[in-house]
Amino acid sequence: EVQLLESGGGLEQSGGSLRLSCTASGFTVTNYAMSWVRQALGKGPEWVSGISYSGGTTYYADSVKGRFTISRDNSKNTLYLEMNSLRVEDTAVYYCASSGGPNVLDNLDYWGQGTQVTVSS
Amino acid sequence: DVQMTQSPSSLSASVGDRVIITCRASQTISTYLNWFQQKPGKAPKLLIYAASSLQSRVPSRFSGSGSGTDFTLTISGLQPEDFATYYCQQSFSTPLTFGGGTKVEIK
């Protein structure tokens, strides 16, 4: 069974840092692009960042560019999101999602259960 | 960025009804349009990809159509487990963007 398990969320002060991880089981992430998508309470999903299957190409939403860094370790079947200079508006549930192919534009077909990130002022 | 606009934002329907949700893109996106279903406290679930292709293990009462800028999601014969929020999402270009959602409620 394909599973994605996020971890690393929590409560952090504005200006602080957090590192999220997403570990896959039931499949090998090597051939698939991956993304982080967040969702604030009562709002729709917002794509945050994506990374190609090899890790060679990364993409960011303007709202996080320069503050967040996506990376992956295919040997560990794990995706990461380093979040710096956190803002109150970064508060959300963060999901990792795998694409159905090697490109970030491929379908987001598997999602984790999400990890809550709360940034206080 | 491609802006996605869904309508209606909410609707009330009864079991067995046919429900149609529309999504409009701010620029042409060919058929790079996906539909998701989300239930409270759960992650979004992919229903339809490439505008009209049914994701594996998704019931055939769900269907999608459209191309260019205008798309629809149709649920033919609404079931109790279909009451949820539905989102469209474009995969034409980054940043990937989602519509504002349509909440399907029980009448």
Neighbours of A96 (CB within 10 A): 31
DSSP at B34: E
Give the number of C-alpha atoms closer than 13 A to the C-alpha of residue A85, restricted to the C-beta side: 7
Residue B2: CB atoms within 10 Å: 18
- Inter-chain CB proximity B44 and A45 less than 8 Å: yes
Q: Which residues contact B44 (CB under 8 A, 6 or more apart)?
A: A37, A45, A95, A108, A111, B36, B37, B38, B87
Q: Amino acid letter at A37?
A: V
Across the interface, whether the CB atoms of B89 and A105 are under 8 A apart is answered no
The chain-wide mean pLDDT, for chain B, equals 97
Work out the angle at residue A82's Cα, subtended by the Cα atoms of residues A30 and A25, and round it to the nearest 5 degrees. Answer: 35
Q: Does B45 touch chain A (CB under 8 A)?
A: yes
Residues of A in contact with B29 (CB under 8 A): none
Residue A30 backbone phi and psi in degrees, to 5: -50, -35
Buried b (16+ CB within 10 A) or exposed e, B33-55: bbbbbbeeeebbbbbbbebbeeb
pLDDT value, residue B81: 95
- Identify all chain B residues contacting A112, using CB atoms and an 8 Å cutoff: 43
Residue B102: C-alpha distances to residues A4, A84, B3, B92 (Å): 26, 33, 16, 21
- pLDDT, residue B107, reads 87
> Could you tell me if B16 lies within 8 Å of chain A, comparing CB atoms?
no
As a whole number, mean pLDDT of residues B97-104 equals 98
| Closest chain A C-alpha to B53 CA, distance in angstroms | 11
Q: What percent of chain A has pLDDT over 70?
A: 100
CB pairs under 8 A between A and B: 60
**Closest Cα to residue A118, out of A23, A5, A35, A8?**
A8
Q: Which of residues 15-44 of A touch B (CB under 8 A)?
A: 35, 37, 44
Which chain A residue has the Cα nearest residue B90?
A105
Question: A27 pLDDT band (50/70/90 cuts)?
Answer: confident
pLDDT score, position A86: 98
**Is the CB of residue A13 less than 8 Å away from at least one CB of chain B?**
no
Query: CA of B16 to nearest chain A CA: how many angstroms apart?
Result: 27
Q: How many residues does chain A have?
A: 121
* pLDDT category of residue B44 using cuts at 50, 70 and 90: very high
State whether residue B58 sits within 8 Å of chain A by CB.
no
Q: What is the mean pLDDT of residues A92-98?
A: 98
The DSSP string of B9-26 is: SEEEE-TT-EEEEEEEES
B30 touching A (Cβ < 8 Å): no
Mean pLDDT computed over B64-69: 98
Average pLDDT over residues A64-73: 98
State residue A57's pLDDT score. Answer: 96
Give the mean model confidence (pLDDT) for residues A61-73: 98
